[in-house]
Structure 1
Amino acid sequence: MTEKRNIVIKIGSALLANQDLLTPRFGFLQRLLEDVMRLRSQGYQVILCSSGSVALGLRMVGETPETAGVSDKQAAAACGMPLLLNAYKQVGHEYGIEIAQVLLTLGDFEDHRRFLNTRNTVHRLLEADIVPIINENDSITTEEIRVGDNDRLAAKVAQMVGAQDLVILTGVDGLYDRNPDDPEAQFVPEVTDVSDYMEATKGKSTLGTGGMATKLQAANMAQEAGCTTWIAQGEVDRPLSAVLSGERRSTKIIAHENPLSGWDSWIANRLQMAGSVVVKDTVFDTMAERKRAVRREDIISMDGDFTRGDVLHIYDKQGVERARGLSDFTSEEIRVLVSNPEAEAEKLLGYRTKGEIIRGANLVPLETRHLLWDAPAAIAEEATGLGG
């Protein structure tokens, strides 16, 4: 392998922490990092997205996965992160692997400047032949401002670094067409459209925060960025290289042949909804060619409180999401503009502006390959009324 190939590995909590003792599983870490060493010798640049800090810290704060509340989990994350990093450090030293910790929050992905700064840090670590171990900063995040699962976090990291491969290691050998407990469940070796299987992905692990649904959401985000995803059992020898070589069973979610650009991928692949607007159907007639911006006269209604530079989800009158785009105004400014359609935008806002809510260059139409987001309740109700 002549060129460096970026690969992101996501490891679930159940693989890293003993479910009963809530202690590090050193046997798994040895198998994992031995395989990381093997991939690095083949020319891969490896980034780990590792769960486990909360699980490893629960015992120290006197809680269990069943009893822990938000503040308990935040405290457990603070206690468990040194344990997790120490375990990686100990085992990594055996294989000549240097590691670095990168803790991220939702804002590091959703704010473009912070996104680029984080990307620069990760690239610099890779240049120094150091393996970044990335996790959400669970000790400071709350439900309102957190990513919520490391599956989608890993997909955003894959997008960030331009990875060609994303391997999600979990407790099952891949995707099934229904609950794997069903005796008639059939294994799915390859997927092009993840939406075909979203209904078959209910449930989540005891220690983790995500189930198969978040893994497919992550795979869809990776597809958009031109990254192929594998979902595979982690509790085996050579958990990574055997998957990439096709030597053992896994589910492969194939990257799109024509991925979005880095800018469009950042706009289209969101972790949380900052705000949304319903626009007239005529807006979508020329949206695919980006011949026009979304203007204030196009907006029928809106939902959410957001700021300039946030990405808005754009719905038609039937409540179907059709696009995502970068807002040039705050939610308050848009309300002022929409409420006063005859007044000049400059006079209303007090500064020079064309009054375009979303510029054409910052607008990404959603194709059938995207997983669409349900409209917020207020917009869904209004859409029902409009449709009637």
Structure 2
Amino acid sequence: MVAVTPPATKKATKTASNNVFDAAKIIVIKVGSSLLVDEDKNAINTSWLAGIASDIARLKSAGKDVVVVSSGAIALGRRLLKITDGKLKLQEKQAAAATGQVLLAHAWMDALGAHQIQTAQILLSPDDTETRRKHLNARTTMMALLGLNAVPVVNENDTVATAEIRFGDNDRLAARVAAMVGADLLVLLSDVDGLYTANPNGSDTATHLGEIAQITPEIMAMAGPANASYASGGMVTKLEAARIATAAGCQMIICNGQSPAPLSRLEAGAKCTIFAAALTPHTARKQWIAGALTPKGTIRIDDGAAKAVRAGRSLLPAGVVAVRGQFERGDLIEIENNAGTVIGHGLSSYGSDDAAAIRGHKSNAIETVLGYRGRDEMIHADNLVISDS
């Protein structure tokens, strides 16, 4: 059975009246090329960008953390490099991305700067989101930026991520970023107002679906390709993004972003499709740590540290009495109590050699021991799962 809210019911055309923005603390907004770039002029749509900047400023004033994942670098770069005809070769895409990214970053900086909001540019490749050590580094950087009240503006590192350019899109990148930062809500702004049972541009019987409870093969079969010549993501990639986001405990919305203030319009009840998440981001991350990875090593902790981690606190080096195995920063490791019983798992902030060197030391001694100022925690509480028994 297809897990959707039936189109004939009152909820068939889903709106944002269920307060998804109100409940969300961290919101990731994905902006497609077809919205940000005027296809006829291959230039930034400055009036539209000013509108969404106002929306973001309003969310920030309400206490929300916002991350933007923005397409558009290749489209802008090909104009600046005067590559106007035909399908781009891979090296031309990379050159266009490198050129257009400068203009794209400045455009976001100016638009958000008008509201006294600081932006930060982050370029990611798939390896940065899928390799645990790089994932941890990127997550730490983005969480630090959010803590400093900045808005990270993320794009693919298209100049080096050749495989991502070939099939790539920022829908899935946005979902990976949402999972990385533990976002509560991912909004994909596009030129469509959600998912239909068939392509609404080619079918008179296509029916809008307001809410998707589960992404089934029947749902995936409803997807269609993108329209704009430089937009690499279609409905297929949006549904794949929904799989990634909802598995990470993040709700996802697909909506039409063409209006001057698309998020305000969405909050006011614009038509959209909401993909529900069964778990919270925190619970989903804890489940991933607990069951989806293979431990690479083990650390033994004293009774005081065991009591602290059971109370939900981070594990500090001072409470570690032994380190076994070879592991890198970001790897999963087991945590044993003094009796040798495994009581939990976590992502290590240090590789095994450095972990062994700082075990038993207070956090303020780490720089003296290692020669650099690392994390205060051996395992941060966000990256730590303790068993019930």
Q: Tell me which stretches of 4 or more aligned residues in structure 1 moved more than 3 Å.
A: 1-4, 144-147, 257-261, 263-269
Aligned partner of 1:132 in structure 2 is: 152
Amino acid at match of 2:104: L
Aligned partner of 1:149 in structure 2 is: 169
Aligned partner of 1:104 in structure 2 is: 124
1:211 aligns with 2:234: yes
With normalisation by structure 2, the TM-score equals: 0.65
Match of 2:29 among 2, 5, 9: 9
Aligned partner of 2:244 in structure 1 is: 221
CA contact (8 A) 2:48 2:261 kept: no
Q: Report SS of the residue matched to 1:184.
A: coil
Mapping of 1:176-191 within 5 angstroms? Answer: 176-181=196-201, 182-191=203-212
Distance in structure 1 (CA, Å) of the matches to 2:111 and 2:270? 25
CA contact (8 A) 2:24 2:184 kept: no
CA contact (8 A) 1:53 1:79 kept: yes
Q: 1:267 to 1:25 in 2, by over 3 A?
A: farther
CA contact (8 A) 2:255 2:273 kept: yes
CA contact (8 A) 1:11 1:168 kept: yes
Q: 1:220 to 1:3 in 2, by over 3 A?
A: closer
1:358-388: CA deviation from partner (whole Å, max 9, x where unpaired):
xxxxxxxxxxxxxxxxxxxxxxxxxxxxxxx
- After TM superposition, give the deviation of residue 124 of structure 1 in Å: 0.6
- After TM superposition, give the deviation of residue 4 of structure 1 in Å: 7.6
Q: Report SS of the residue matched to 2:38.
A: coil
Aligned partner of 2:219 in structure 1 is: 197
Amino acid at match of 1:242: R
Aligned partner of 1:163 in structure 2 is: 183
Q: 1:144 to 1:213 in 2, by over 3 A?
A: closer
Mapping of 1:10-159 within 5 angstroms? Answer: 10-64=30-84, 66-143=86-163, 148-159=168-179
Distance in structure 1 (CA, Å) of the matches to 2:248 and 2:78? 36
- After TM superposition, give the deviation of residue 94 of structure 1 in Å: 1.3
Distance in structure 2 (CA, Å) of the matches to 1:65 and 1:33? 32
Amino acid at match of 1:252: I
- After TM superposition, give the deviation of residue 268 of structure 1 in Å: 9.8
With normalisation by structure 1, the TM-score equals: 0.65
Higher relative contact order (CA 8 A, sep 6+): 2
Q: Percent identity?
A: 40
Gaps of 5+ in 2: 1-20, 293-329, 332-389
The Cα RMSD (Å) is: 2.8
Distance in structure 2 (CA, Å) of the matches to 1:172 and 1:266? 36
Q: Report SS of the residue matched to 1:200.
A: coil
1:235-286: CA deviation from partner (whole Å, max 9, x where unpaired):
114312432x3511111111114776326548999xxxxxxxxxxxxxxxxx
Q: 1:257 to 1:142 in 2, by over 3 A?
A: closer
Q: 1:119 to 1:203 in 2, by over 3 A?
A: same
1:171-198: CA deviation from partner (whole Å, max 9, x where unpaired):
0111111011111111111111222321
Q: 1:207 to 1:264 in 2, by over 3 A?
A: farther
CA contact (8 A) 1:37 1:97 kept: yes
Q: Report SS of the residue matched to 2:103.
A: helix
CA contact (8 A) 1:11 1:51 kept: yes
Aligned partner of 2:254 in structure 1 is: 231
Distance in structure 2 (CA, Å) of the matches to 1:135 and 1:9? 12
Aligned partner of 1:256 in structure 2 is: 278
Q: 1:197 to 1:96 in 2, by over 3 A?
A: same
Aligned partner of 2:387 in structure 1 is: none
Amino acid at match of 1:71: Q
- After TM superposition, give the deviation of residue 60 of structure 1 in Å: 2.2
Distance in structure 1 (CA, Å) of the matches to 2:199 and 2:291? 30
Q: 1:114 to 1:263 in 2, by over 3 A?
A: farther
Q: Report SS of the residue matched to 2:221.
A: helix
Gaps of 5+ in 1: 270-308, 311-388
Q: Report SS of the residue matched to 1:58.
A: helix
- After TM superposition, give the deviation of residue 102 of structure 1 in Å: 0.3
CA contact (8 A) 2:37 2:76 kept: yes
Q: Report SS of the residue matched to 2:104.
A: helix
Q: Report SS of the residue matched to 2:43.
A: coil
Q: What is the total number of aligned residue pairs between the two structures?
A: 272
1:219-243: CA deviation from partner (whole Å, max 9, x where unpaired):
1111111111010011114312432
CA contact (8 A) 2:251 2:277 kept: yes
- After TM superposition, give the deviation of residue 5 of structure 1 in Å: 0.4
Distance in structure 1 (CA, Å) of the matches to 2:31 and 2:256? 10
Q: 1:65 to 1:256 in 2, by over 3 A?
A: farther
Q: 1:126 to 1:257 in 2, by over 3 A?
A: closer
Q: Report SS of the residue matched to 1:247.
A: coil
CA contact (8 A) 1:61 1:72 kept: no
Distance in structure 2 (CA, Å) of the matches to 1:198 and 1:268? 27
Aligned partner of 2:192 in structure 1 is: 172
CA contact (8 A) 2:42 2:76 kept: yes
Distance in structure 1 (CA, Å) of the matches to 2:259 and 2:290? 37
